[in-house]
Amino acid sequence: MLDVSSADTRGPDVREPDTIGVEATIENGVGRILLDRPRSLNALTTPMVEVLRDVLEAWSDEPLRAITIESSSARAFCAGGDIRQVRQNTLDGDPGASDRFFTAEYQVNHLLGTSRAPVVALVDGVCMGGGLGLSVHGAFRVVGDGLVMAMPESSIGFFPDVGATHFLPRLPGEVGTYLGLTGARLGAADAVAVGLATHHVPSDVLAGLAERIAADERPVEVVLAEAAVAPGRSPLLEHRAEIDRTFCGGSVDDVLTALRREGTEWADETRAALGAVSRQSLEVTLDLLRWAEGRSLRVCLDAELRAGRHVALSPDFVEGVRAVLVDKDRAPIWGPSLHRGITADGELLWASAGT
C-alpha cells in the first residue's frame, strides 16, 4: 500500500541564511543548475524562481548540449514552493506577492518544458509539488534510491499545479487522477513505472552524474543508459486495476462511491485518505484534470495561475497550511467548498466566502 499520508514537508521552519540558493554555470557545453538551500529542502522562494527563470531565458539562445538540475543534498531535490509565505501574503492582504511568485514559477516550468537543450533532472530524496515542476517537464528525469515523490496539495487546501494539470492526465489510465487527489507518495520504482521518471540510478552514482554528463561528449541519453539500473517492483502497479476502476468518475462523489463499492482494504484506506483532505481541493483538482486533457502546457499553466488566485485566498488554504506547516497539529477544520464548477475555457466558478 502506498503512503497516502497528508504530510507535506514544504516550507520547513528552519530558514537559510540570506542567500538565493541557486547556482548556475556552463561547463563544457552543459548548463548546470544547483539548488542549494538544503536546510529548507530547497523550498522555492520568489527570488529563487526569478533567478531560475532569468537563467533559463538567457540559456535559451546558447548552443548547449544539455541542462542539468541537481540538489546540493541527497535529502531533497525540492520540497515544493514556500507555501507558508503564500499563506502569509493572503493574511497580509497582499495577493500580488503570491501572484509574482506563481507567475515566475510557472514561467520556469514552461521554459523547462520547451527547452531546445535536453533538460536532465537528477532527483533524489524529497521531490514534491514545485519539485515536480522542476523535473517532470524536462526530457530526462533521473531518480535515485531515496526518492519520495508526491503532489500533496489537497492536504493543504490547494491543488496540484506547476503544470500538473498537463502531466497528470497523460499518465497511464487513471493514475494521474489518483495521484492528484490522494497525494500518494511514490518511490523510484513507481515513478519509473508510471512515466514520471525516465531512469533509475543508484544514489551513489547519481551524486556524480552531472559531472559525468558535462565531461562526456556523447549524447546524454547514452550516458544515462549506461548509468541506469532496473528500479525493482512498483507497489503502485499492484493496485493499477483498482485505480482505473475507481478514479474514472467525473465527480468526487463518483470516486468515493466507486471506492465504497470496491470494498477492498486498499479502497477503504484510500477513501479514508480522501475524507481527511479538503473537499474543495478535491473538486478543483478533479475538474482541472478533466478539463486539461489534451491541452498544451502553456494553456494548462495559464489556467492554474487563474485558479490559484481563487484558491490561495480561500479559508481552506489558510487553514490547511496552518495545520500542516505552521502549527503542525495536522488537524485542519475544513470549511464548505467554494468551488462551483469550471467553464469550457478553464475558468473556475467560485462562490464568495460565507455564501
pLDDT over 60 (residue 22): yes
Quick check: 16 pLDDT over 90?
A: no
pLDDT digits (tens, 9 = 90+) for 134-173: 999 999 999 999 999 999 999 999 999 999 999 999 999 9
The DSSP call for residue 123 is E
Task: Name the phi and psi angles at 125, rounded to 5.
Answer: 70, -150
Q: For residue 3, what pLDDT is reported? A: 36
**Torsion sign over Cα 8, 11, 14, 17:** positive
Give yes or no for a contact between 152 and 6, defined as CB atoms under 8 angstroms apart. Answer: yes
Give me the helix-helix angle, 175-182 and 252-262, nearest 10°. 100
Q: pLDDT for 297-335, tens place per residue? A: 999 999 999 999 999 999 999 999 999 999 999 999 999
Q: For the chain, how many helices (H) and strands (E)?
A: 16, 11
Q: Given this model, what pLDDT does residue 19 score?
A: 77
Grade residue 15 by pLDDT with cuts at 50, 70 and 90.
low
Arithmetic mean of pLDDT, 223-241: 97
Tell me what the pLDDT averaged over the chain comes to.
94
pLDDT of residue 17: 56
For the chain, the structural domain boundaries read 1-355
2 has a pLDDT exceeding 60: no
Averaged over 84-92, what is the pLDDT?
A: 97
- Cα distance between residue 57 and residue 162, in whole Å: 18
Q: Report the percent of the chain where pLDDT is more than 70.
A: 94
Catalytic residues: 81, 130, 153, 161
In degrees, to the nearest 5, what angle opens at C-alpha 66 toward C-alphas 63 and 71? 135
Cell of 150: 508526491
- Percent of the chain residues past pLDDT 90, beyond the cut: 93
- Residue 10's pLDDT band, with cuts at 50, 70 and 90, is very low
pLDDT of amino acid 111: 98
Does residue 1 register a pLDDT over 60? no
Residue 338 CA: distances (Å) to CA of 165, 274, 279, 311: 20, 18, 10, 9
Give residue-wise pLDDT tens across range 192-203. 999 999 999 999
Residue 11: pLDDT band with limits 50, 70, 90? very low
- Residue 17: all three cell numbers together: 541564511
* 313 neighbors 301 (Cβ within 8 angstroms): no
Q: Virtual CA dihedral for 299, 33, 11, 301, nearest 10 degrees?
A: 0
Distance from C-alpha of 99 to C-alpha of 112, rounded to nearest angstrom: 20
Please report the pLDDT score of residue 305 as a whole number.
98
Q: What is the pLDDT of residues 271-283, one digit of tens each?
A: 999 999 999 999 9
Q: Work out the pLDDT band at 46, boundaries 50, 70, 90.
A: very high
Kindly state the average pLDDT of the residues 24-47: 97
Report whether pLDDT(296) > 50. Answer: yes
- The predicted pLDDT at position 355 comes to 56
Residue 104 in this model has a pLDDT that exceeds 80: yes
Which helix (H) or strand (E) segment is 317 a member of? helix 315-321
Fold of 1-355: 2-enoyl-CoA Hydratase; Chain A, domain 1 (3.90.226)
